[in-house]
Structure 1
Amino acid sequence: MNTLIVDDEPLARARIKRLLEKHHNITVLGEAADGQEALRLCQQLKPDLVLLDINIPVLTGLQVAEQLNLMAVPPAIVFLTAHPEYAINAFQLAVGGYLVKPVSEQALANTLSQLGKLNRVHIEKQQPAYIRYQLGNTIRRIALAEVFYCMAEEKYTHIYHTGGDAIIEHSLKSLAQHYPSTFMRIHRKIIVNRSRLECLSTANGLHYLKLRDCEALLPISRREFKTVKLALSSIS
């Protein structure tokens, strides 16, 4: 689990990092000392987990968490603080956990254990049923139920939905992993909404997928053909 540590105290960061070394499934990607740096590193590194102190400069941990939760695929957040009175506000923003300083080895281990038990389907159920993206200075969202398919194009991903299309920076892999019960891969560059599967068609020896209420015929790779055929047979 790729992890970012955010705390304005170097000794506190060093202690957390030392405790994490005992967990072989954890990789520390980086450290941040304030809220602005934390957001920048989250956009750059896209960690799975952020260990986030609440009392940090520039932006508080609570403000950072609010921004992280606007990401299309937000990381899990575990708050770190010496002030237990923040617990109510913290739990409204983070499903991962809440650790009171000084963080003990056992408390950290317990929290990481609980995170490890959350598979991607469970995480998806805890997230809102839509994908967020930014257009200019505005945060917009697309309901998962309205998505037809997503297609990788150079460094970006196009989401085609009932209201048109949108461009986001998250990869197909991250969307497929975060919403496993919604999306399935049919091609190296395409994932589709499982609930929109309709039928197969063949032309010139190539296979295509038709989605409900979508005009596009989407190419299916040879590698994914059996998976798509099986998925269609299960709904027929």
Structure 2
Amino acid sequence: MRTLIVDDEPLARARLKRLLSAHTQIDCIGEAENATDALNLVQQLQPDLVMLDIEMPDTDGLALAETINQLPLPPAIIFVTAHPQHALDAYSVGPSDYLLKPVDASRLKTALERVGTPTRAHIEKQDELNPWISYQVGNSLRRIRFDKVQYFMAEDKVVKMVFDGGEAILNESLNRIEASYQGLVVRAHRHLLINISRMNTLNKIDGLYFVSLYGCDERLNISRRKASELKIYIFHNHSSA
């Protein structure tokens, strides 16, 4: 578990790192002494866990935790503090645990085991960013995560969902799908919704615009007036890759 230690006291960081070294599943990938450096390292290193002090000189750990939780894939957070009065406020930002200094080795072990079980906050965040979508195959109801979906196409009065490895007919209109997955899909033309995260390139051929998707061999025709909007999503996908 890739772990970042954040504490403004060097001795506290050293002691915590020593305690963590007893756990073979923990890989301490970095340290930070303030919130600004910590946020930069979280974005650069993508840790699985942040051991976070609360009282720091610039931005406190509670405010930093709220910022971290807004990231697309936030790490788990264990607060480590000498001040028990922060406990109630700390739990409002959904940490995995709350440890008091000096950290007890057995209590740390329990906290690390707890990180292995996703908290409700992290499950809810995952479902918000990458929800399940259900579809019918014969008499069976199946579901996949939204990041596996490529696009939705309305044709012959039905909506076809194309996903990695297959396709299915949905009993939903494009308008309903667009409303249900707002922010995850974009209307490419009247009969087509595209998974925003799957868009790769946009090309103009003989006056017509086509978009290609990651994992999809098909080129999809899009409306001319939507081309500029889709270019923005494609640029964002490439810059965040």
Unaligned runs of 5+ in 1: 132-142, 147-179, 185-190, 202-206, 223-236
- Using the TM superposition, give the Cα deviation of residue 89 of structure 1 relative to its aligned residue in structure 2, in angstroms: 0.4
Change (3 A) 1:219 1:84: closer
Change (3 A) 1:109 1:209: same
The yes-or-no answer on 1:73 pairing with 2:73 is yes
Change (3 A) 1:200 1:112: closer
> Aligned residue for 1:57?
57
Letter in 1 for 2:6: V
Higher RCO (CA-CA < 8 Å; seq separation 6+): 1
Who wins on radius of gyration, i.e. which is larger?
Answer: 2
Unaligned runs of 5+ in 2: 134-142, 154-158, 175-191, 195-211, 218-241
Find the residue that maps to 1:59 and give its secondary structure: coil
- Using the TM superposition, give the Cα deviation of residue 198 of structure 1 relative to its aligned residue in structure 2, in angstroms: 4.6
- Using the TM superposition, give the Cα deviation of residue 117 of structure 1 relative to its aligned residue in structure 2, in angstroms: 3.3
Matches within 5 A, 1:101-120: 101-118=101-118
- Using the TM superposition, give the Cα deviation of residue 2 of structure 1 relative to its aligned residue in structure 2, in angstroms: 0.6
- Using the TM superposition, give the Cα deviation of residue 93 of structure 1 relative to its aligned residue in structure 2, in angstroms: 0.8
> Aligned residue for 1:192?
149
> Aligned residue for 2:100?
100
Change (3 A) 1:3 1:82: same
Matches within 5 A, 1:201-212: 209=167
Maintained 8 Å contact 1:8/1:57: yes
> Aligned residue for 1:159?
none
Measured in 2, the distance between the counterparts of 1:30 and 1:36 equals: 14
CA RMSD of aligned residues (A): 3.7
Maintained 8 Å contact 1:79/1:94: no
1:78-106 Cα offsets, whole Å, 9 max, x none, are: 10111101000001113310000000111
Letter in 2 for 1:37: D
Measured in 1, the distance between the counterparts of 2:214 and 2:51 equals: 41
* Count of residue pairs the alignment pairs up: 165
User: Which segments of structure 1 move beyond 2 Å, counting only runs of 4 or more?
Assistant: 122-131, 143-146, 180-184, 196-201, 207-222
> Aligned residue for 1:19?
19
Find the residue that maps to 2:92 and give its secondary structure: helix
Measured in 2, the distance between the counterparts of 1:75 and 1:200 equals: 31
TM-score calculated relative to the size of structure 1: 0.59
Measured in 2, the distance between the counterparts of 1:9 and 1:83 equals: 15
Change (3 A) 1:20 1:181: farther
> Aligned residue for 1:9?
9
Maintained 8 Å contact 1:208/1:219: no
Find the residue that maps to 1:93 and give its secondary structure: coil
Aligned sequence identity (%):
39
